[in-house]
Chains A and B, each alone.
Chain A
Amino acid sequence: MSDNLATVVRDICRKYGRERGRLMDIVRAVQEKFGCVSGPAMDLIAKEVGVRRVQVASVVTFYAFLSEQPKGQVVIRLCNDIIDQMAGAPDVARAFEEELGISFGQTTPDGKFSLEYAACIGMCDQAPAALVNDVPVTELSTDAARRIVRDLRKHMDPSRLVHRLGDGNNAHELVHAMVMNNIHLRGPVIFTPANRGEAIRKALAMTPAEVIRAVKTSRLRGRGGAGFPTGMKWEFTRAAPGDRKYIVCNADEGEPGTFKDRVLLTELPDRVFAGMTIAGYAVGAAEGILYLRAEYAYLQRFLEDLLDKRRAENLLGQNICGKAGFNFDIRIQMGAGAYVCGEETALLSSAEGSRGDPKNRPPFPAQKGYLDCPTVVNNVETLACVTKILEAGPATFSEHGSPGSTGTKLLSISGDCKVPGVFEVPFGIKLSEVLKLAGGEDAIAVQVGGASGQMIAREEFGRTICFDDLATGGSVMIFGPERNVLEVADKFMEFFVEESCGYCTPCRVGNVLLKERLERVIAGQGEPADLEYLQDLGQTIKTMSRCGLGQTSANPVLTTLKNFRATYNALVKKRTDGLQPAFDLGAAVGEAETIIGRKSEHAHA
């Protein structure tokens, strides 16, 4: 057995050239093979790769999809985020527990099944959803959950759970998923017929500087959330000293409620790869990395195959399309389940084979990115836009949208609406119009921009989706009249508490305190001073945190405080007795009462 471990681990390490930078792939492969990365396995990996064991351990313990303790042969990860909760995830969870005889976080004694909760797995439009190993199972019901377990008991093969195939490429033999695209609105930019190779050929007919100028002329801004002008980012990277440069496509898509990159990678991956290649030409990079979140592993073979096709067609590789000296290739780097890895510097740490720790900025990736080389990090959709800009010209692109936010935006709409799914809308569209498109007009609140975004109240549904007003990476979550916005905010705080990398105190500790105090208010034990506390603490976390996660993690609280003040005010009342209402003496002595065998004389007076 341990001989086997040694041989397999060695083979895996060799497959990845025993490179420290491929540690992620190595531990992922070991995890897949043995259901864990055990202590002995870590020792072996450390020796093969030439790092200390603690470096291996720090990777294994950081990511949700890796573990030191053995996991079941089949791991069921049920999304536990708010959208799934609203769609009935708690009942589905109970069905799984009953059918398997274990609770979440446990593995069956026979080592066959583990049951876990996951943060948003990017299937919000078909919630409740779960991953069974790599296989997404969507629109779950209690019956479906029971059937899944019974079927698995028979064959232990998650891929055989796919009884119906999704639309489009979801039915492709290399994808073979029940996932639906749910594209409900096709706009003039993204969801348009594509001609493989056209954009690259057009780009290669220009100089790199001209390509950058075209992107600048289009006024394209990053679709990943921050909205940085793409052309400028490329220009910085091109100008940065160094002869090795990299293009990284950020397909981590971890922001709760976002799933449009999944659809892009399913239906228009050629546009994305073309965008990366064009970026490579523009900035002078020879290598590209698609950082794909672990939750989308079911797309990996399909994407690898497409890369092969593109190599065969000379759209990747040496002297691309006959352009002497332009060499570019792309590899896929799988993530392992960590929201913070969507943050560009954390993503780079992860792609370098480390924990997904954000790095200090500056230097920005454009100066010092992957392996300290100048690096462009762009979102999937941004790169798809680039391809369209090269295909149709910058002017055709910028005629859509608003002056500060050109082009269209893919929205991932989920929650209380008739048709959740992906909508390509022009920038500048009113939130109320978005709601109409999705059939969510009776919403009382809309969370724009994911957990890190803003909770918008009815009075502000006239605001517009664009970088200057309601910026969003694409997530729009709709909440109907029966929802409690404060509980939604609390759920988002749970997400951040879970996903904080723990590096800095305001984020690691502050979010926990914020959540506790919010829950006190929700429980009716709050006072007006607690609202000030929430505001102050939230502001502190925002200003004192190192990376974008902490800088936005207080938003669920801060934006509900601002936009749903009346809801808060109705819950708090001033007290004059000087006691802390959250302290419950009866509960605090309960255990001792049982152990000692008498009732407290103070608690029940």
Chain B
Amino acid sequence: MAKPKVATTSLAGCFGCHMSLLDIDDRILKLVELVDFDKSPVDDIKEFTGRCAVGLIEGGCCNEENVKVLRDFRAHCDILISVGDCAIMGGIPAMRNGIPLQECYAEAYLKGPTVHNPSGRIPNDPELPLLLNRVYPCHEVVKIDYHLPGCPPPADTLWEALVALLSDKPVQLPYELVKYD
């Protein structure tokens, strides 16, 4: 029987959650026995090749591109997991939510202390996706099946959750793996 497939992506995140996934250390060998990776920065597959059992989402949605990718994940994955605080509630990027968008653009492209932009224009390049009016947590854009909190969630949390899901067991993580105070 073909192995179930897992896809991952980093939207408005810092890749810290992906780093945490790699932090499962040698268990990564077990993981590749259990699953194949589909679209993911881990194997650099850019487009989905087929239906996936699980999609791991790092980061919330700060631009139109994020929304497109997230919707694509929803369309291809049976189970979607918001991994980490950015995916779950916007996290650090959402700190801009109280600041008018115009000011965010100005800070990034015009007025920031390290900006060198003699043209004085905010760039209009298709490579730069349009920003959303605010940063959205993933579950406000598509339905999310599980939330794994943490910044990032520890490797053990990711591991336990994945193994449970892939072996059709209930995801019942011990308290220590989901408490943060």
Residue positions of A touching B, CB distance < 8 A = 577-580, 582-583, 585, 587-593, 595-598, 600-603
- Can you add 8 more A-B contacts, CB < 8 Å, to A579-B74, A591-B102, A597-B124? A579-B141, A580-B143, A589-B130, A589-B133, A591-B101, A595-B102, A596-B124, A598-B130
Q: List 29 A-B contacts (CB under 8 A).
A: A578-B74, A578-B80, A578-B142, A579-B74, A579-B142, A580-B141, A580-B142, A583-B67, A583-B136, A583-B140, A585-B64, A585-B67, A587-B133, A588-B132, A588-B134, A588-B136, A589-B130, A589-B133, A590-B133, A591-B101, A591-B102, A591-B133, A596-B105, A596-B122, A596-B124, A597-B124, A598-B130, A601-B64, A602-B64
Contacts of A579 in B (CB 8 A): 71, 74, 141-143
CB-CB under 8 A from A592, the residues of chain B are: 101, 105, 130-133
Given A589-B64, A591-B133, A602-B68, A580–B101 Cβ distance below 8 Å? no
Closest residue of chain A to B74 (Cβ to Cβ) is A578
B173 touches A (CB below 8 Å): no
List, in ascending order, chain B residues with CB within 8 A of A591's CB. Answer: 101-102, 133
A37 to chain B, nearest CB (A): 27
Which B residues from 47 to 88 make CB contacts under 8 A with A? 64-65, 67-68, 71, 74-75, 80
Q: Which residues of B contact A (CB under 8 A)?
A: 64-65, 67-68, 71, 74-75, 80, 101-102, 105, 122, 124, 126, 130-134, 136, 139-143
> Which residues of A lie under 8 Å from residue B101 when comparing CB positions?
591-592, 595
Bound complex: CA of A600 vs CA of B130, how far in Å? 7
Contact A593:B130 (CB < 8 A) given known A579-B71, A585-B67, A600-B64: yes
> Can you name the residue of chain A whose Cβ is closest to the Cβ of B130?
A592
* Docked pose: A592 CA to B124 CA in angstroms: 11
State in angstroms the CA–CA spacing of A589 and B65 once bound together. Answer: 11
Q: Which residues of B contact A589 (CB under 8 A)?
A: 64, 130-133
Residues of the A chain whose Cβ atoms lie less than 8 Å from the Cβ of B80: 578
Q: How many A-B residue pairs have CB under 8 A?
A: 68
Contact B142 A595 (CB under 8 A): no
Question: Could you say which residues of chain A place their CB within 8 Å of the CB of B102?
Answer: 591, 595
Identify B140's interface contact among A582, A587, A602, CB under 8 A. A582
Interface centre among B65, B101, B130, by most chain A C-beta atoms within 10 angstroms, is: B130
Cα distance A417–B167 when bound, in Å?
Answer: 63
CA distance A468 to B166 in the complex (A): 54
Return the chain A residue nearest B131 by Cβ.
A592
Q: Name which residue of chain B comes closest to A579, CB basis.
A: B142
What residues of A have a CB within 8 angstroms of the CB of B105 in the complex? Answer: 592, 595-596
Q: Report the Cα distance A592→B65, complex, angstroms.
A: 13
Contact B130 A596 (CB under 8 A): yes
Q: Is the CB of A580 within 8 A of B140?
A: yes
Which 10 pairs from chain A and chain B are nearest by CB? Answer: A592-B130, A588-B132, A578-B74, A592-B131, A578-B143, A589-B130, A602-B64, A583-B141, A602-B68, A591-B101
Question: Who on chain A is nearest to B139 by CB?
Answer: A580
A587 / chain B contacts, CB cutoff of 8 Å: 133
- In angstroms, Cα B68 to Cα A602, docked, is 7
Q: How far is the CB of B52 from chain A (nearest CB, A)?
A: 13
B81 to chain A minimum Cβ distance, whole angstroms, is 13
Per the bound structure, the CA–CA distance linking A237 and B128 in Å amounts to: 71
- Distance in angstroms between the alpha carbons of A595 and B141 in the assembled complex: 23
Known: A588-B132, A588-B136, A591-B101. A602 touches B141 (CB 8 A): no
A588 and B64 CA atoms in complex are apart in Å by 9
How far is the CB of A587 from the nearest CB of chain B, in Å?
Answer: 8
In the complex formed, the residue of A with least CB distance to B106 is: A595
Closest to A596 in B: B124
Alpha-carbon separation in the docked complex, A600 to B133 (Å):
13
Q: Chain A residues with Cβ under 8 A from B140's Cβ?
A: 580, 582-583
Question: Which partner residue on chain A sits nearest B105 by CB separation?
Answer: A595
Which residues does chain A contribute within 8 Å of B126, judged by CB atoms?
Answer: 598, 601
Closest approach, in angstroms, between the C-beta of A581 and any C-beta of chain B?
10
